[in-house]
Amino acid sequence: MTSPSVFEQILDPARRADPYPLFDELRKTPVARQEDGTYVVSTYREIVALLHDPRVSSDRRNLATAPPQEERTVSFIGLDPPEHDRLRRLTMHHFGPPHSPGLIDGLRPEMLAITTGLIDGIAGKRQADVVDEVAYPLPVAVICRLLGVPQEDEPQFHAWADQIIETLGPGEEDRAERERLRQATGLELERYLAGLAEVRRGQPGEDLLSGLITYHGPDGAMTPQEVVATSVLLLIAGHETTINLIANGMLTFLRHPDLLERVRTDPGLIIPAVEELLRYEPPVQLVSSRIALDDITIAGTTIPAGSPIVLALAAGSRDPAHLADPGRFALDRPRNEHLGFGGGVHYCFGAPLARLEAQIVLSELIRRLRNPRLVTDPPPYRPSAVLRGPRHLLVDYDGVA
Ligand code: HEM
């Protein structure tokens, strides 16, 4: 038996608490071929080049060993231009012009109200799990408000989201059963959203779902199936990622009490702090969905057409060839160019929403928890090497302001 490659070691759940020394090792071979023919790319410059390369596809149907054609409408994260761009533009239209307050900033009061309710909920205790009690419920609640899911349906919506996320992670046990459950829950969720979209078509509101279903523009309109696929994408893509950003953030602050104190006394610092978190402890560590459409030569290696490509975003954001002192968490980086939200045409659609959610929750936790202390370091992690974050984050504190 050959010894596991550096990349295989990164995938090993036993290494989840601190994969960064392995990422440092991985960067020594910027483009590393794995035994199964996958190419893993780990240096900043090469990752950026591939994120912007039209010869790199996000459509699984281009794999040399393509899975059987799926019946379902594919959401735009799994499509290439021009279809990707049409659906992304049709969705973006509802978020207002770039850099304007628009839909996201309008959600600020609701986000704060939800956060306040969650922190009030742990006020009577001396110990809480920041993952289950604060980070977990927030992103789904926000997506429900954004889409216009009626409040009485929110608990059901939460349950579906939980079930789908639960079945998404990698793992060998019960693979068939988990796949069956994911399909079944996915269908229920899709049926629910299709029904709600029909209601909104007859009686449009101010919400995103109404917008998606009624808007006609230069790109035409979305089909009802595309509306449902897009809504599900927004739910799934923004769920565990945001939970992990909040949990990784709280963990980092608790490990650096001086930093926590700085943000407490100067709350505006939460903005560079969240940006640095996306670089230093990124919720999306790997993008494992790319396929070479042509032979691509990069950093002296040729990736043959049809090969799967993994982009190790977490390694790229700590590349010393790109930035100084990458292993240090710093609030004063003049230009913090990181790969936390990916890049190119698939750059995270929800980045402004995710930033704002994390800024609000982390500020409120820092402001309100008195003398917070980490109970276990490292905390237990979820198994996924792709979406990395603590499964629980127990914190002791002396009351809540
Ligand atoms: C894409 C990260 C939150 C919606 C991506 C990608 C990354 C990412 C790395 C690129 C994937 C690729 O290139 O294949 C994150 C992180 C988040 C976050 C770290 C939280 C901290 C959200 C939220 C939403 C969202 C809240 C939605 C409300 C999307 C969508 C795409 C995407 C729709 C696909 C964009 C496209 O294909 O054009 N995200 N995301 N994300 N994200 Fe996020």
Residue 92, domain CATH: 1.10.630.10
**Per the domain annotation, does 324 fall within a domain?**
no
Q: Best substitution site from 60, 241, 338 to test ligand 1's pocket, by max atoms within 8 Å of Cβ?
A: 241
Residue 8's alpha-carbon distances to 39, 367, 383, in angstroms, are: 12, 40, 14
**Per the domain annotation, does 105 fall within a domain?**
yes
> One-letter amino acid identity for 241?
T
pLDDT of res. 12 = 94
pTM: 0.94
Give the number of domains in the chain. Answer: 1
Question: Which protein residue has the closest C-alpha to ligand 1 atom 23?
Answer: 238
Low-confidence ranges of the chain (pLDDT < 70): 1, 66-72, 96-102, 168-173
pLDDT of res. 131 = 96
- The closest-lying atom of ligand 1 relative to the alpha carbon of residue 58 is 14
**Per the domain annotation, does 201 fall within a domain?**
yes
In this structure, are strands 296-298 and 127-129 parallel, antiparallel, or unpaired? Answer: unpaired
Q: Is the peptide bond before 383 cis (omega within 30 degrees of 0)?
A: no
pLDDT of res. 97 = 60
Question: Which protein residue has the closest C-alpha to ligand 1 atom 26?
Answer: 238
Measured in Å, residue 340 CA sits from the centre of ligand 1 at 9
**Per the domain annotation, does 334 fall within a domain?**
no
pLDDT of res. 69 = 59
pLDDT of res. 72 = 67
Residue 121's alpha-carbon distances to 128, 275, 324, in angstroms, are: 10, 28, 41
Residue 26's alpha-carbon distances to 250, 313, 383, in angstroms, are: 27, 12, 20
Q: What lines the ligand 1 site, CB under 6 Å?
A: 58, 76-77, 88, 233-234, 237-238, 241-242, 245, 283-284, 287, 289, 340-342, 346, 348-350, 353-354
Measured in Å, residue 370 CA sits from the centre of ligand 1 at 33
**Per the domain annotation, does 82 fall within a domain?**
yes
Domain encompassing residue 190? 6-26+69-282+344-396
- Would you state the structure tokens that stand for residue 90, as one six-digit string? 């049709």
> One-letter amino acid identity for 174?
D
ipTM of this complex prediction, to 2 decimal places? 0.98
Q: Could you tell me if 361 and 134 are in contact, meaning their C-beta atoms sit under 8 angstroms apart?
A: yes
Between CA 325 and CA 363 the distance in angstroms is 26
Closest CA to 286 of 234, 340, 324, 334: 340
